[in-house]
Structure 1
Amino acid sequence: MTEKRTVPADSAAVAARELRAVFSRLRRTLREASATTDLTPSQAAVLSRLINDGPASASGLAAAERVRPQSMAATLAVLERHGLIGRRPDPEDGRRQLVSLTKDGLARIADSRRVREEWLARAMEERYTEDERATVLAALALLDRLSER
């Protein structure tokens, strides 16, 4: 039995395309404004995943980031060389190592987030009126529904 696939309304297709483009530009601008500009996007993603999800194995990180284990090993080696992550034996399986953020890694993420949030708040204050910021907040509430399952 074949599922019938409906074509989205033109307005939905345009909104999806524009939303993706705006988020892409905003993500790039925020990355440029942050303190992690010397990190690659994959290195920054691993740090972010570790702060959000906690310690993980290299293979778990590779699966979560959808990269080959060899690529994750290279990413982790760089982060470890910079003192941003550490490894310790998994208490549940001594054959595995768990990767976690070091104090420097935690500080780096916190500083990066602070810089991005400050830049974004200043930009919104300078470029938008109070009414426009209220409109952005209302739109964000609508967009948040996209992440609901």
Structure 2
Amino acid sequence: MSRDEAVRAMLVLMPRVAQRLKRTTVPEQLRSMNLAPRHLSLLSHLVFDGPALVSELAERLEVAPTTVSLMVADLSRQGVVERRVDPADRRRTIVSITEDPETRDAINGWLARGADSWEKALDPLTPEERAMFVRTMTAYERGASGAAD
């Protein structure tokens, strides 16, 4: 496939992917919480990587710590995440998914659909090809957002 053919294919495919993602239904238990994609990214990190400091989440999400603090405060008020003081340094806050089983199951189920799709799509690729794909998607996202390399 030539570069031009690949660009055309991706220009046709990406709007369909975006529409499908927009139609992904939020689990009933989470609907009243008005969760946005940024919340899903934060929750993904907590589910896959476990509890984290606000500063660690900010670094992973590539946003300012104040942005993460605002998201965490919002999710905490809604009972989705829990905050606790880091016993090693009381100035730091550790964030984790709530211990409430119903909410935790709803979050895991919501994330599982996407994870299952990615596992199926990435499974036939070698580790090097997977890394290339992730780098390519990251470069596309940065370019589409107008961010400098």
Q: Quickly name the TM-score band, shorter chain normalised.
A: 0.5 to 0.7
TM-score with structure 2 setting the length? 0.64
Count of residues paired in the alignment: 122
Unmatched tracts of structure 2, length 5 or more: 115-119, 133-149
* Structure with more contact order per residue of length (Cα contacts < 8 Å, sep ≥ 6): 1
Q: Are residues 1:40 and 2:23 paired? A: no
Name whichever of 57-66 and 92-101 sits farther off. 92-101
Q: Are residues 1:14 and 2:12 paired? A: no
8 Å CA contact 2:44, 2:111 repeated in 1: no
1:56 CA drift (Å): 1.0
2:95 aligned partner = 99
1:62 CA drift (Å): 1.5
Deviations 1:55-80 (A, max 9, x none): 11111112211222222111110111
Unmatched tracts of structure 1, length 5 or more: 1-7, 118-136
8 Å CA contact 1:51, 1:106 repeated in 2: no
Q: Are residues 1:148 and 2:131 paired? A: yes
Aligned-partner residue type, residue 27 of structure 1: L
Larger radius of gyration: 1
Aligned-partner residue type, residue 34 of structure 1: V
1:19 CA drift (Å): 2.8
Residues 41, 139 of structure 1: alpha-carbon distance in 2 compared, 3 angstrom cutoff: closer
